[in-house]
Amino acid sequence: MENPPLASLSLTHVHYNPADRLSYLCAWLALVPQGLCVVYATLIWSNREIEILLMFAGQMSCEALNWVLKRYIKEERPREMHGKGYGMPSSHAQFVTFFSLTLTFFLLFRHTPHPTDTHTPFSFFQRFMLSIVALLSAAAVACSRIYLNYHTPKQVLVGCAAGALFAVFWFGFTTFLRRSGLVEWGLDTHLAKILRVRDLVIQEDLVDSGWARWVERRQRKQFIVQQKNR
């Protein structure tokens, strides 16, 4: 029997012009959504923060919306593109717009970090600048889809609009969950306790998570060593 024809897993398969350095950069920018999924998974596993879980749930819901919209609109990609699938709206643009706006809403309107003995959190201005960086990065990813001829400008703009609208909706929805007490109820469930789900990032920076305990442990260890050397 002849071997069956092989298919390509196109998850990270990006067409670009090897003679164009900007095209090469755009090819790397195309991998940002996959990289962010790795970041999501890493933070969820290592920190068990309910806020990150909610954000990831919104991200996947936004992806599901994009899947529905593409199959409803059924607009083809640009002719220069040799890939498969519909192009309206751009999933990359929708993904990064949702992420950057949701992160911005969190940093500016929900995150109220308190200083500790070992850590000084970002000021509001620093969080604002970080939000600008996130939004500019999202714009770079969106523009790269046009440069690589994966999408038309209209498809990218619609993707950005869909991601922005869903980010506003999701932030309002999660705000309702918090104010109604449903998040607190969920944290008190047996499953949440088994999985060690917590809600610290609202008032505590991720970089401070466990740092105070680490400093205290090192100081205690150094004190014991000093006592032995006397």
Contact partners, residue 24, CB within 8 Å, separation at least 6: 16, 17, 18
CA angle 159, 160, 165 (to 5 degrees): 100
The confidence score (pLDDT) of residue 17 equals 80
Q: pLDDT 10s digit of each residue in the chain, 230 long?
A: 566 776 666 667 778 788 888 888 888 888 999 999 999 999 889 888 899 999 999 999 999 999 999 888 888 888 776 556 777 899 999 999 999 999 999 999 988 877 766 667 778 888 899 999 999 999 999 999 888 888 889 999 999 999 999 999 999 999 999 999 998 898 889 998 888 888 888 877 777 766 767 777 777 888 787 777 77
Token pair listed for 112: 């109220």
- What CA–CA distance (Å, rounded) separates 113 from 133? 20
* Alpha-carbon distances, residue 111 vs 104, 107, 128, 156 (angstroms): 10, 5, 12, 30
Length of the chain equals: 230
Domain ranges of the chain: 21-229
What is residue 203's DSSP assignment?
A: T
Interatomic CA distance for residues 217 and 223, integer angstroms: 10
Whole-angstrom distance, CA of residue 164 vs CA of residue 33: 16
- Report CA-CA distances (Å) from 19 to 25, 67, 82: 12, 33, 18
Cα–Cα distances in Å, from 62 out to 21, 47, 88, 102, 161? 31, 23, 14, 12, 12
Residue 192 to residue 198: CA distance in whole angstroms = 8
Give me 95's structure tokens. 């993904």
